[in-house]
């Protein structure tokens, strides 16, 4: 069996297997189980883009304690994180690094645009060094208005994101 036919055979075999896996996880309890496990382990990336990080820190504090939702405070490595919270204004200089951080995160990854500046450029919408729409860099799941939004508002956004994950397709 020559090299090409071996690769074709393995390719076809893998294709068939992935269909089986998708049909199995696509319906019923397994999909719910996978989504439930994703919902309860949202580890945020430790990158602060601007001044909303003060309120992100306040949310990580003892009063709201997001570890009840499975959000570990400092996750360190990017591979382990699956939630990128864009905290505040994204300048052009930071946008370059933010894009790299987003690409390094493992799928499935979710993005919350926290604060006006991440949603639409907010107070500094007419500045020369700002990226106004963050959704041009990567798809954003939840927008949180407020400058800065209250820690409870951010936690309500995370509860909203969990709703979205629960109803999501496993291999979206």
Partner 1 sequence: MFLGEMYEGIKHIFKRTFTMKYPYQKLLLPKGFRGRHLLYMDKCTGCGICAWICPERCISMVPVTNDKEYPQNPEKRFPQYWYARCCFCHFCTDYCPTGALDYTPDYELAEYDRDLLLWSPERLSRPTTHIGEYQSVIHDNQGVTYEPVPKTK
Partner 2 sequence: MSQKSTSREETIIEKAKSRFPEYIKETKIDNNRRVTISFDKDHVQEIAKWMRDDIGFDHLKGIAGVDYPTHKKLEVLYLAGSFSKPEIQDIIVTLKAELPKDAPTISSVVSIWESAHFHEREAFEMFGINFEGHPDLRKLLTLDNWDGPPPMLKDIKFPEMGQR
Partner 3 sequence: MTANPPTPTIASNEAKEPSTMDVSVGPQHPGSGHVRLLMRVDGDYIVSIDPDIGYVHRGCEKIAEYRNYVSNIPHLERPCIIDAIHLNWAYVLPVEELQGVIVPPRGQYISTIAAEMNRIMSHLYWLAINAGVFSGHTTIFMWAFGDRDLFIELAEWLTGARLTYSFLPPGGPRRDFPSGFEQKLAKLLDYFEKRLVEYDRMFLSNPLVVARAKGIGVLKKKDAIKLGVTGPVLRGSGVEYDVRKVEPYGAYADLEFQIPTFKEGDSYSRYLVRFEEMKQSISIIRQALNKMPKGPIARKAPLVAPEGEAIGRVESSRGEITVMVIGDNSDKPYRVKIMNGSFRNLIALPYLIRNVHVADMPIIYGSLDYWPVEADR
Does 68 participate in binding partner 1 (rule CB under 8 A)?
Answer: yes
Contact pattern for partner 1 over residues 118 through 147, marking x by CB under 8 A: -xxxxx-x---------x----xxxxxxxx
| C-alpha dist (Å) from residue 109 to 82, 103, 122, 154, 155 | 4, 10, 25, 18, 18
Question: Smallest Cα–Cα separation from 101: which of 130, 87, 81, 121?
Answer: 81
- By the 10 Å C-beta count (0-12 exposed, 13-18 middle, 19+ buried), 17 is classed as exposed
| E strand or H helix at 127 | none
Does 16 participate in binding partner 1 (rule CB under 8 A)?
Answer: no
Does 137 participate in binding partner 3 (rule CB under 8 A)?
Answer: no
Does 62 participate in binding partner 1 (rule CB under 8 A)?
Answer: yes
Query: Considering only residues 92, 160, 164, 166, which one is a binding residue for partner 2 as defined by CB under 8 A?
Result: 92
Subset of 108-137 contacting partner 2 (CB under 8 A)? 125-126, 128-129
Cis (ω within 30 of 0) for the bond into 148?
yes
18 contacts: CB under 8 Å, gap ≥ 6: none
What is the spatial distance between Cα 110 and Cα 44, in angstroms, rounded to a whole number? 9
Subset of 71-110 contacting partner 1 (CB under 8 A)? none
Of 101 and 137, nearer to partner 3 (C-beta) is: 101
Of 35 and 89, nearer to partner 3 (C-beta) is: 89
Instruction: Give min distance, CB of 47 to partner 2, in A.
Output: 17
Window contacting partner 3 (CB under 8 A); options: 1-9, 42-50, 106-114, 164-172? 42-50
| C-alpha dist (Å) from residue 96 to 52, 100, 103, 119, 120 | 19, 7, 11, 18, 18
Instruction: Give min distance, CB of 96 to partner 2, in A.
Output: 7
β-strand partners of 112: 85, 142
Give the binding site for partner 2 (CB under 8 A).
Answer: 91-93, 96, 125-126, 128-129
Q: Residue numbers of the site for partner 1 (CB under 8 A)?
A: 62-65, 68, 116, 119-123, 125, 135, 140-147, 149-150, 152-153, 155-157, 159-160, 164
């Amino acid at each position: 069996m020559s090299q090409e036919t071996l690769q074709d055979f393995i390719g076809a075999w893998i294709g068939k297997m992935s269909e089986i896996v998708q049909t199995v996880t696509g319906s019923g309890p397994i999909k719910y189980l996978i989504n439930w496990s994703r919902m309860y382990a949202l580890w945020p990336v430790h990158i602060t883009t601007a001044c909303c990080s003060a309120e992100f820190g306040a949310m990580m504090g003892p009063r709201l304690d997001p570890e009840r939702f499975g959000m570990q405070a400092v996750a360190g490595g990017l591979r382990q994180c699956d939630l990128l919270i864009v905290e505040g204004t994204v300048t052009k200089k930071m946008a370059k690094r933010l894009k790299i951080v987003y690409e390094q995160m493992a799928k499935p990854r979710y993005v919350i645009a926290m604060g006006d500046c991440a949603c639409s450029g907010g107070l500094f919408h007419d500045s020369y060094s700002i990226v106004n729409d963050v959704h041009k860099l990567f798809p954003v799941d939840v927008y949180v208005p407020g400058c800065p939004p209250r820690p409870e508002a951010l936690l309500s956004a995370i509860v909203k994101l969990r709703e979205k994950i629960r109803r999501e397709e496993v291999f979206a």
